[in-house]
Structure 1
Amino acid sequence: MDDNRSKIEQMRGLIATIKQADIAYFRDDRPIMSDRDYDVAVDLLKKLEQNTGVILSDSPTQKVPGEILESLTEVRHTRPMLSADKTKSVDDLVRFAGGRDVVLSWKLDGLTLVLRYDDGQLQQAITRGREGIIGEDVTHTVRTFLNVPVTVPTRESFEVRGEGVISWENFKKINDSLEEPYTHPRNLAAGSVRKLDPAESKKRLLEFKAFDLVTDLTFPTKTEQLDFLAENGFSVVPHLRLAAPSAGKVKDTVALMNPAGFEYPVDGLIMEYNDTAYGKSLGATGHHENRLIALKWKDELYTTKFLGVELATTRTGMVSITGLFEPVEMDGAKVSRAYLHNYNIFEQFQFGVGDTIQVYKANMIIPQVAENLTKSGTYKLPEKCPCCGRALSIQQTSGGTSQLFCDNPHCAAKLVQKFAHFCEKTRMNIEGLSATTLEKFIGHGWIRSFGDLYTLDRYKEEIINTEGFGVKSYERLQASIDKSRNCTLAKFIAGLGIPMVGRHAGRERDKCFGGSWEAFEQAIKDGFDFTSLPDFGATMHDNIYKWYADADEADLWRPLLDHITFIKENTIMNSTNNPFAGKNVVATGKLVNYTRDGIQTRLLELGAHPASSVTKNTDFLIVGEKAGSKLAKAQALGITTLTEQEFEDMAG
């Protein structure tokens, strides 16, 4: 079976590689492997799936069809899903072990599930449900998890219990994109598993960590149970076997298991007898099984003084509230802020500046306010948006809670995607300003126009102290900003986000106006006909004039002109002695060796006229994978089509 486990790990590596290649190819237009190497990886994965009998749910060989269910079906568990007895004392773990072999594992904080298998196939996935007796059928969403085996080599029927979880990294990534963010990965996991639409659930990057074999398959030890699950393709909860541990050994091991360094949310540890027959003989109460015990961490309280709040406006207009207090040292780190999840929670605490409050780290990770001992109730929330200065309102969310909102449709915080578009690599190429980072900066009021990107040094100290930043990351960001101050008219125009006017259109205007912004702007004032440029239609022409006349848009881009120096685009031809010089060339589909920007640059170097659409004036069409309608149109017009290799051979 060790060989099988090795092959399963190899499968996981192949899946990760193929996924990375898919992202690079389909999302980023930057292939990282050839089609041949990609096919070899997929073929090897299929072979390993056949050899092991295991197919993981995130395997590229599996296609999960989308389906919408009207409701979740109730299912009775074959065995009640009981809990574990709980303690906050390590001494209780020592007494529980009592000189016997035990297994110590993380108590994962997610949604507990039971998965049923029969004849090597996943048959059903069920939530804990009511009192652990009646659960809900969530098979449709569990099939979209990143790591659930949908086929296993074991043909005998069995049930496995585990936790549906989301890693801290993925929680942050997903939460930043949601209109109503979740307070904890557990809530996000539970809400995602119970979604009716599996396509939506799939976006949540859920994982399943197996921790118990429900079916009695006569394994004498707990570790053998977990080995069996690992050999069948399950990701098993990290665990340690302690052989008749002394009190010191138990305490030392517990001390080493620090949740702050673990990639998934946990709310304690589980200790269980390794001897399964002995554990079973101890029976159960109506609440918990006696074969195991859970250690819940004590929430150590720290007393400090409330100082006020910090508001930050998000891209949805919702304004987050963070409580500020005099710094206290928690687990070796200075902590001075805690997120207050909504307006209702802020109201409940009845804060006043100088109030004595108690704070703690929930599950030893997330700073929280526990209690306001003074409750003076004198503190009033700021009434204006920190980003645009407009009045804030209190609105009821779909979840039934109240939140602060900025109602200004032109608030810069709602324009995060515009700023992210401007900073992209193929536009102004400002590294370090992702949509998530921009949302933080904009929410704090540091960025209100594109021009403010070039004066972020005013907030150097604040940025350095922002989560995820430091001195080095600030210096890298500033260097990237300074580098982007010199740019071509083509990249500048592409970054402004004029509808339908991208990099190719920017290049045409760059050539037409000699790389001069002044010439381009004067042309607009003079009523220039942009349809006279190659591949410019009436809609693009109209979009330029609408954009230029929009006062709100002008407030965003005009301050940029004080910070940008325009340089000529290097379009020097390597040679005009090639078949493409002076020709109209279109590229379509996914190319192996070129991004969209890269193929346009290459064509310009050859003296060709790169175009974005096929017309009767097109001379060549370079065809990549999934070429679509452009290929059909070129064939209908009798235009010469070239593979990427044929293009390179002709170009020399």
Structure 2
Amino acid sequence: MRDSPKRKNDSLGSKRISMGSQENSKIEENSGLQEADKQDSIARMKELISFLNEAAKAYYQEGREIVSNLEYDKAYDTLLSLEKESGVVLSGSPSQNVGYAVATALPKEAHETPMLSLDKTKSVEDLQSFLQGQEGILSWKLDGLTIVLHYQEGKLLKAVTRGNGIIGELVTENAKTFQNLPLQIPFKGHLVVRGEAFISYSDFERINEELPEEGAKYKNPRNLCSGSVRQLDPKVTKERRVQISLFSLVLAEEEGKAPDFHNQHEEEFRFLEKQGFSVVHRKMVNAENIQEAVAEFSKLMPKNDFPSDGLVLLYNDIAYGESLGRTAKFPRNAIAFKWQDEEETTKLLSVEWSPSRTGLINPVAIFTPVELEGTVVSRASLHNITYCEDLALGIGDEITVYKANMIIPQIGENKTKSGNLEIPKHCPACQGETKIVKDKETKMLYCTNPHCPAKRIKQFALFVSRDALNIEGLSEMTLEKWLGRGFIQEFPDLFSLEKYREEIIGMEGFGLKSFEKIQENIEKAKTSNLGRLLYGLGIEGIGVSNGRMLAEAFSQDPYKLMDATKEEILQVKGIGQVLADSIAEYFQKEENRRIVLELLSILHLEKEEKEEKSGISGKHFVITGAVHHFPNRKALEEEIRKAGGQSSSSVSQNTDYLINNDSTSGSSKNKKAKELGIPIITEEEFLKLLEA
């Protein structure tokens, strides 16, 4: 993160602060504020400072976000306004600070030069005024975790987080696992650079899909990235596929001399790209074309696979920028731009409580449809009970809705705060009793009925899904009907439906042909592999990728895995303590072992043999656009994996080939590949590589 801290939603309880019009205190032109008004302003400032500092502490020290980006900005702007009007700046004001003291088990290290945040604006006119006839560089403001990298004699020496801007945390071993970070570079002198570590949206979604507990899912990629980098196990960082994009060169010195960058930051960026670094996407601008450039970035924003919360405008002229100096908090050579959040007021119609296969019941707001950022939205996640309580939600309330980062619908503010929302005492799926479970400071609602049909439907739906046993034609509706009739109770029952042949054929919506087709698909599904089975079982924390990793690590032998100790499971690359505990505990339960053994007597698990292909092995591929020779992208990714290659979702310096049947398209991945000199190949060309 490259400016003041962003805090998104979770909970802050009674400390939520209403941003009413009374905050815009008026100033008397000649005599300043009246004394009573001044005291009111100071009292208000104290409230705001407490609120903002608590949000900063959660963000920097604990790696979590407790208020929305929108809400933080409103509070921060109100504080600045009050400080300006009153002429008073209180001790501890975040307007004077750039971070928060770090507090983890990671070693601490002071930065050689302080890391200041950036002043910000939401006005393109301000950007034009900022340039003042100068040439500038406009780039993405990535929403991740800022890292300072030190290289000596061409090798990565250390990596330090931003921390409070003065002192950060050493995360060198974790940084070494970043997907696109060069560990060795051509430049042999002393190099210090700054970049933003981030996790792509596609990897964020993949990781969340692999978490069975809805309440355990990460709210956004920024939280996930912070937790992935600021922990003690490099294996976890590697598994999370953290990337980094540089945005600043701090120092480059070799034999006492700095390279000649011709007084241009753009030359610095090109130098860094030649060293093998991924550098933030950017565009040269001036006062005449800045508005057009901002509009171009705005159009790209919803298509990006990386999290961004705005733009950064930097003077290209190094000497000019440095001559402007800095304030206590901001350098004057750059400014951050944030889009105005498109916010609409609407009415909360209802809250839908949706049970998951783990029993967690998730609240979803249903409101009168509104148009935001070009699409109509009528739903937004409410995350958990604490979040609902903090908003003081009630049916019929007047709420504001916006899209976080122009993508994800969020509730911004509750204007009426009726607080009359009733928490269900009974599960909407089974009418069983619910209970509220508190995890740290967050309250979540669970169904207590172990036989809740909603849980079981979701469990079966996962088992038959495409990435698991892949039994086509079995919708949740069909599974629900069969569960209700008692045809299926456990996973093995799916393979003995013949005994209910006549009953199923006689059911509404079924017939002889549909039954035979389903039976044919079930028969096909009997031939599978261990990775798919592990994912389908729904073991806590096991997703598609680590299911496959486990299968490979235990030589595709299910019995070997079932009898493995936690210590043996921990030896698997990418498996941490929590996941190892989950796997071992699953197979220690007698009922789970019985079901798995029964499945093993039914299924034929083939061993997945990797056929290393010289043209593919060890190569990194990215796929974009429509595919023609494969049924879908997943099938193409599988072919790459079987041939010993790897696929990822975003183009970087590590990418060897971009597969795109339309090499002339203006997609962001095509542009990035061309910028980095990465070959763009068609499927036909990929197939030739496969045959080589």
Which TM-score band applies after superposition, normalised by the shorter structure?
0.5 to 0.7
Query: Pick from 203, 207, 224: which aligns with 2:239?
Result: 203
Secondary structure of the 2:118 match is: strand
CA contact (8 A) 2:199 2:242 kept: yes
Instruction: Tell me the distance in 1 between the aligned counterparts of 2:514 and 2:275.
Output: 48
Which residue of structure 2 aligns with residue 6 of structure 1?
A: none
* 3-state secondary structure, aligned to 2:217: coil
In structure 1, what residue type is equivalent to 2:353? L
Task: Tell me the equivalent position of 2:186.
Answer: 153
Q: Helix, strand or coil for the counterpart of 2:332?
A: strand
Same amino acid, percent of matched pairs: 40
2:609: which partner in 1? 590
Q: Answer whether contact 1:357 1:370 (CA < 8 A) is retained.
A: yes
Aligned to 1:253: 293
- Of residues 400, 403, 414 in structure 2, which corresponds to 1:358? 400
Provide the C-alpha distance between the structure 2 equivalents of 1:99 and 1:480, rounded to a whole number of angstroms: 71
Give the Cα–Cα distance (whole angstroms) in 2 for the partners of residues 481 and 98 of structure 1: 73
Structure 2: distance between partners of 1:445 and 1:322: 24
CA contact (8 A) 2:200 2:305 kept: yes
Deviation at 1:170, TM superposition (A): 1.1
CA distance in 2, matches of 1:166, 1:84: 22
Give 1:91's match in structure 2, choosing from 125, 139, 163. Answer: 125
The change in CA–CA distance for 1:376 and 1:289 in structure 2 (over 3 A counts) is: same
Equivalent residue runs for 1:430-445 within 5 Å: 430=472
Q: Give the conservation status (yes or no) of the 8 Å contact 1:108–1:265.
A: yes
Contact 1:386 1:445 in 2 (8 A): no
Find the counterpart in structure 2 of residue 79 from structure 1: 113
Q: Is the 8 A contact 1:266 1:363 kept in 2?
A: yes
Aligned 1:456-605 pairs, distance under 5 A: 483-487=517-521, 491=525, 590=609, 592=611
| Counterpart residue type for residue 190 of structure 1 | S
Residue pairs, 1:244-283, within 5 angstroms: 244-246=286-288, 249-258=289-298, 259-283=301-325
Distance in 1, Cα, partners of 2:515 & 2:183: 48
- CA change 1:483–1:139 in 2 (3 A) is farther
Match of 1:122 in 2: 156
- Residues 508-563 of structure 1, C-alpha deviations (whole Å, 9 max, x = no match): xxxxxxxxxxxxxxxxxxxxxxxxxxxx9xx9xxx9xx989x9x99xxx9xxxxxx
Pick aligned residue for 2:424 from 371, 382, 385: 382
* Residue number among 336, 345, 348 corresponding to 1:306 in the alignment: 348
Q: Distance in 1 between matches of 2:483 and 2:470?
A: 15
Whether the 8 Å contact between 2:151 and 2:192 is mirrored in structure 1 is yes
Distance in 2 between the 1:453 and 1:241 partners? 65
Letter in 2 for 1:233: G
Q: 1:308 to 1:447 in 2, by over 3 A?
A: farther
Residue 235 of structure 1 corresponds to 278
Partner SS state of residue 215, structure 1: strand
Distance in 2 between residues matched to 1:488 and 1:240, nearest whole Å:
54
CA apart distance, 1:383: 3.0
What is the alpha-carbon distance in structure 1 between the residues aligned to residue 344 and residue 514 of structure 2? 41
Structure 1 letter corresponding to 2:110: R
Is 1:322 paired with 2:364?
yes
Rate the CA distance shift 1:78–1:480 in 2: closer, same or farther, 3 A: farther
CA drift at 1:480: 11
Q: Which residue of structure 1 aligns with residue 202 of structure 2?
A: 169
Give the counterpart of 2:175 among 142, 152, 158. Answer: 142
Deviation at 1:109, TM superposition (A): 0.5
Partner of 1:516: none
What's the CA shift for 1:233? Answer: 1.2
1:100 to 130, 134, 144: 134
1:111 maps to which residue? 145
Q: CA offsets, 1:382-406, max 9 Å, x none?
A: 33334444222211114x3112223
- 1:387, 1:448 within 8 Å by CA — same for their partners in 2? no
Q: What secondary structure does 2:183 align onto?
A: strand
CA shift, 1:411, in A, is 4.2
Are the aligned partners of 1:309 and 1:381 in contact in 2 as well (CA < 8 Å)? no
Counterparts of 2:297 and 2:315 in 1: how far apart (Å)?
Answer: 19
Question: How far off is 1:250 after superposition?
Answer: 1.1
Q: Secondary structure at the match of 1:169?
A: helix
The structure with the larger Rg is 1
* Partner-residue secondary structure (3-state), 2:119: strand
Structure-2 separation of matches of 1:245 and 1:273? 12
The 1:375/1:294 distance shift into structure 2, 3 A limit, reads: same
Contact 1:419 1:450 in 2 (8 A): no
Which amino acid is 2:138 matched to? L
Shift of 1:424: 5.2
1:75 deviates by: 0.6
Q: Which amino acid aligns with 2:195?
A: G
Letter in 2 for 1:238: H
Give the whole-Å Cα distance in 2 for the aligned partners of 1:481 and 1:275: 72
> What TM-score do you get using the length of structure 1 for normalisation?
0.57
Do the aligned residues in 1 keep the contact of 2:360 with 2:444 (CA within 8 Å)?
yes
Q: How many residues matched?
A: 425
Relative distance call for 1:159 and 1:387 in structure 2 (3 A) is farther
2-side partners of 1:160 and 1:332: how far apart? 38
Per-residue CA deviation, residues 394-437 of structure 1 (Å, 9 max, x unaligned), is: 11114x31122233444456565654344457955428x9xxxx
Per-residue deviation at 1:305? Answer: 0.6
TM-score normalized by the length of structure 2: 0.54
State the secondary structure of the residue aligned to 1:115. Answer: strand
Q: Secondary structure of 1:385's match? A: coil
Correspondence 1:14-25 to 2 at 5 A = none
Match of 1:406 among 405, 424, 447: 447
Separation in structure 1 between the aligned mates of residue 479 and residue 464 of structure 2, nearest angstrom: 18
Provide the rounded CA distance (Å) in 2 between the counterparts of 1:238 and 1:333.
26
Name the counterpart of 2:328. Answer: 286
Aligned counterparts of 2:515 and 2:166: Cα–Cα separation in 1:
59
* 2:609 alignment partner AA: K
Matched-pair contact (CA < 8 Å) for 2:343–2:372: no
Contact kept? 2:529, 2:606, Cα under 8 Å? no
Q: Is the CA contact (8 Å cut-off) linking 1:353 and 1:379 kept in structure 2?
A: yes
8 Å CA contact 2:151–2:157 kept in 1: the answer is yes
Q: 1:76–1:134: 8 Å Cα contact kept in structure 2?
A: yes
Equivalent residue, structure 2, for 1:183: 219
Q: Which amino acid aligns with 1:250?
A: I
Do the aligned partners of residues 424 and 103 (structure 1) sit closer, same or farther apart at CA in structure 2, a change above 3 Å counting?
closer
C-alpha distance 339-494 of structure 1, shift in aligned 2 (>3 A) = same
The reply to whether residue 223 of structure 1 matches residue 242 of structure 2 is: no
In structure 1, C-alpha distance between the alignment counterparts of 2:487 and 2:145, rounded to whole Å: 42
Q: Is the contact between residue 387 and residue 445 of structure 1 (CA under 8 Å) also seen in structure 2?
A: no
Give 1:307 deviation, angstroms. Answer: 0.9
Unaligned runs of 5+ in 1: 1-69, 455-478, 503-535, 558-568, 570-585, 594-623, 626-652
> CA offset at residue 490 of structure 1?
7.8
Residue type matched to 1:380 in 2? E
1:344 match: 386
Q: 1:109-150, CA deviations, whole angstroms, 9 ceiling, x for partnerless residues? A: 1111111111111111111112x0100001121112111111
Letter in 1 for 2:354: A
In structure 1, the residue matched to 2:647 is none
Select between 271-280 and 388-397 the one with higher mean Cα deviation. 388-397
1:425–1:118 Cα change, 3 Å: closer
Structure 1: distance between partners of 2:279 and 2:485: 50
**What are the ranges of 5 or more consecutive residues in structure 2 without an aligned counterpart?**
1-103, 253-257, 489-512, 537-558, 563-586, 613-641, 644-692
Distance in 2, Cα, partners of 1:487 & 1:481: 10
Contact 1:209 1:237 (C-alpha < 8 Å) held by counterparts: yes
Contact 1:430 1:481 in 2 (8 A): no
Q: Contact (CA 8 Å) 1:317, 1:406: kept in 2 or not?
A: yes
